[in-house]
Structure 1
Amino acid sequence: MKLNQFLSPFRVIILAYAVLILIGTVLLYLPVSHKPGVTLTLMEALFTATSAITVTGLTVVNTADSFSLFGIAVLAVIIQLGGIGIMSLGTFIWLVTGRKINLSQRMLIMVDQNQLKFSGLVHLIKNMLAIAIVIEGIGAVILGTYYLNYFDPWHEAFLQGAFASLTAFTNSGFDITGQSLIPFAHDYFVQVVTMLLIVAGAIGFPVLVELKEYLSGKHSQYRFSLFTKVAVTTYLVLLVFGAVSIWLLERGHYYAGMAWHQQLFFSLFNSVTARSAGLATMDIAQYSAATLLLISGLMIIGASPSSVGGGIRTTTLAVMFLTIRAFAQGKQHVHVFGRELHDEDIRKAFIVLSVFIGGLFLAIVLIAAIEQGSDIDLVAIIFEVSSAFGTCGLSMGITADLSPFSQLILMVLMFIGRIGLVVLLFSMKKTETKQRYHYPKERIIIG
């Protein structure tokens, strides 16, 4: 097999992210990336680079205490590359240098951004980058200015604000406060700004592009795509469902004795951050087992497709729900918002969920077996695995205590979660050959 035949666009994307992780590992392993007196092992550098590229946020070292300004700059760059997408930033470089985007490059962009067609790709990338820069810039200015109340001197405040804006919008979960957002547990302004940045990054770039075009007023009768309608509806329903469910489960437990506004913001923020962001305003381990399992489910669902987040994605869940509803109603086709869903999309949704759940279960069993004899309980393992596979980054504080083999499993999960199961499955797919015959059909009993 020739090299160009072996390196399909799906395999090129996987290779590109793998190479970027290796480069990030080397840079973070260099002494110049560490604070005086701090030494990172190669495993710690590899785990940190993997978590940053996959915009997850799980860490085995304290970012604020371990990395120098150079190391933080390296983290910021690879987080941005992982969040926006390697091929998206590559497209920007091609455009700036005046190069034309050929067919093979468009195919890479399409795979990297989980798009279905070639048309409009360059337009999408231009808008994506512009929107990302504007949102992150506005967030950096707002938070940097506000952080003057917390940090001194002024350049430390704006460094904290810029990094906080980047990590919130890319849903990467990293922080340089040393305590995530726990210092701002009672500062609702910081929380609101952070939640808006998280939602903007997780809702999906096609949604933001369509919203931008709608607000521009260029189209008198603008029609949002079916993807935008389904993605936004599902995202908002899950956000409200998560917040209400967390409050109901914790009102007599962790929230007992708290003021109503504290309960509201803890519930709302944890519902938002569980979708892929991984930032925390509290010690998440203080929640009950029921709430932790609920949040694990939210992390598994994750964000929207073509966003900075991971998980099975909102549209996958929506398609499954709509398909089950149609089956229960005795309908042969699945309809939503006046449109009929494609059979291939329905099949893809169930394949993604099946493979995801299978991988999740296998990882839980393996880590539980490896960590036998330790003080780490099953709920913590389920939570950690869900966070890694959903590229969320929330943790009950066990990441650094896991054995190297368990950490390696988490790295594999983070990597798969970032590139996406569709890309992974298509990378293993053989060249299609047209079948010239069919076997006799026979029914089997289901359920």
Structure 2
Amino acid sequence: MKIGVAIVKKKRNINPSKTLVLGFAILILVGATLLSLPAATENGEGLPFLKALFTATSATCVTGLVVVDTGSTFSLFGELVILSLIQIGGLGFMTFASFVFMLLGKRISLKERLVLKEAINLNDFTGIGILVRRILLFTGVIEFSGALLLAIRFSYDMPIGKAIYYGVFHSISNFNNAGFDLLGGFHSLTSYVDDPVIVLTICALITLGGIGFIVMNDLYEYRKTRKLSLHTKIMLITSISLTLFGTIAIYLLELGNTKTFGPLSPLGQVLGALFQSVTSRTAGANTLPIGDLTHATLLIMMFLMFIGGGSGSTAGGIKVTTFVVLLATVWSQIKGREDIVIFKKRLVKEIVFKAFTVAMCGFAIVAFVTFILSITDTGHHFIMYLFEATSAFGTVGLTMGLTTELSPIGQLLIILTMFAGRLGPLTIGIAITRRRQKETFHRPKGNIMIG
């Protein structure tokens, strides 16, 4: 009995959100320190610390926004530091640490399980050790397959050793939804816009990384259970729907744009629209020049960036499930229903409250960052500030060209936005506030007019 009480007390004293925030912050600072070393850059001078901090934050938060060109600025050491930050940041540092503990034969403690539960967004501790192993298995298999396909394709354009390295780098970068590339010149993958192998392989990597490890595990278990969870059903159906919507919308909106679709074949136009739809969900690579896209296309992309990918994935944004809960709530109100039902399952009020909180915090962050950027970095079109803020919050990494021109204040603001977008505004809010206390009484009901 005393042991049980002790465990409960210990559990209450643990703040997983605070551990996650501090862990990511420490990882970013270590990465920034390494990137500022002379050995990290080709010129042997190292990066100024602010630029190193920006790059480390972008890599750890798997965003992809860069203030210097990755391929031409960093040495092999610097590129490997960035790649390590992407991998650890994408998996989550606690998932990575737990794997190291397992290799050393150590058990995962209660505190570590609590933090893992928060990081992966689980509802309970059931099978968390098995899930960690599977996450690493899924990651290894997918990244290896992507690296192999990309290396084979790159081998036609460069020496085999360089092709293998490029294949590995771009596979890890895109599976973790980071979008960093080594092709140089801030052009990302625009030279491969009509290449089916590159486009489809990277689209697959981005999609698999963005649906989340919980969905992957659920699909893996399907052969035994023949059932899919509500979360998985929502993720699969909505992700496919958003990808199709984005592809069709971008294709139609860019069809008459000579700067983007003009030089492309019909197949290249379809592949370009597909890639931009997929990458807007939080990856950061691009095959079409972002600055030349129509404003209507940019709005569609910002909509997709704000939604992001799946909970417990390498993606950012408010998450697909949050978006669906918001839609279901609105629909229930329109239909005059008391319960919010998705796939014949009734959602509890706590989920609805959490979804609205995440969405409103996301809107507030994007609006605030856009407002501040328009003050500190004057001289640009308003849509560039809005696009940059949405991209940073969604940890996407797409830019209309503003990133490299940001002032020091603008860089710090985007750093904080990427950090908030990766961890989630709710996680950061809980980390910096006191532990929730259950109310012992309820105040009298009030009534106000809405609408």
Pairwise same-fold verdict (TM > 0.5): yes
- Amino acid of the residue matched to residue 363 of structure 2? I
Matched residues in 1 for 2:27 and 2:233: separation? 34
Report SS of the residue matched to 1:108: helix
Matched residues in 1 for 2:197 and 2:218: separation? 28
Tell me whether 55-64 or 178-187 shows the greater mean CA deviation.
Answer: 178-187
Deviation at 1:336, TM superposition (A): 1.4
Corresponding residue of 1:271: 277
Gaps of 5+ in 2: 1-9
Pick the aligned partner of 1:129 from 136, 150, 153.
136
C-alpha contact 2:37 2:46 (8 A) present in aligned 1:
no
Pick the aligned partner of 1:412 from 410, 416, 421.
416
Tell me whether 156-165 or 6-15 shows the greater mean CA deviation.
Answer: 6-15
Pick the aligned partner of 1:41 from 41, 48, 64.
48
Rate the CA distance shift 1:255–1:11 in 2: closer, same or farther, 3 A.
same
Corresponding residue of 1:391: 395
Aligned runs of 1:300-379 on 2, under 5 Å?
300-372=306-378, 374=379, 376-379=380-383
Matched residues in 2 for 1:343 and 1:46: separation? 40
Deviation at 1:225, TM superposition (A): 0.5
Matched residues in 1 for 2:200 and 2:263: separation? 23
* 2:229 matches 1:225: yes
Q: Percent identity?
A: 36
Matched residues in 1 for 2:426 and 2:175: separation? 24
C-alpha contact 1:204 1:307 (8 A) present in aligned 2:
yes
C-alpha contact 2:11 2:111 (8 A) present in aligned 1:
no
Corresponding residue of 1:428: 432
- Amino acid of the residue matched to residue 248 of structure 1? L
Corresponding residue of 2:24: 17
Report SS of the residue matched to 2:42: coil
C-alpha contact 1:38 1:66 (8 A) present in aligned 2:
no
After TM superposition, the score normalised by the length of structure 2 is: 0.94
Name segments (4+ residues, structure 1) moved above 6 Å: 3-7
Matched residues in 1 for 2:169 and 2:264: separation? 31
Corresponding residue of 2:209: 201
Deviation at 1:39, TM superposition (A): 4.2
Q: For residues 206-233 of structure 1, what are the alpha-carbon distances to aligned partners after superposition, in whole Å with 9 as ceiling and x for unaligned?
A: 111122222xx3x2x5101000001111
Gaps of 5+ in 1: none
Matched residues in 2 for 1:157 and 1:434: separation? 57
* 2:95 matches 1:88: yes
Pick the aligned partner of 1:52 from 46, 59, 81.
59
Deviation at 1:258, TM superposition (A): 4.4
Corresponding residue of 2:6: none
Report SS of the residue matched to 1:131: helix
Deviation at 1:442, TM superposition (A): 1.9
Rate the CA distance shift 1:258–1:185 in 2: closer, same or farther, 3 A.
closer
Corresponding residue of 2:4: none
- Amino acid of the residue matched to residue 288 of structure 1? T
C-alpha contact 2:306 2:393 (8 A) present in aligned 1:
yes
Corresponding residue of 2:161: 155
Q: For residues 369-409 of structure 1, what are the alpha-carbon distances to aligned partners after superposition, in whole Å with 9 as ceiling and x for unaligned?
A: 1123x2x2111111111110000001111101011101111
Rate the CA distance shift 1:210–1:436 in 2: closer, same or farther, 3 A.
closer
Deviation at 1:161, TM superposition (A): 0.5
Deviation at 1:421, TM superposition (A): 2.0
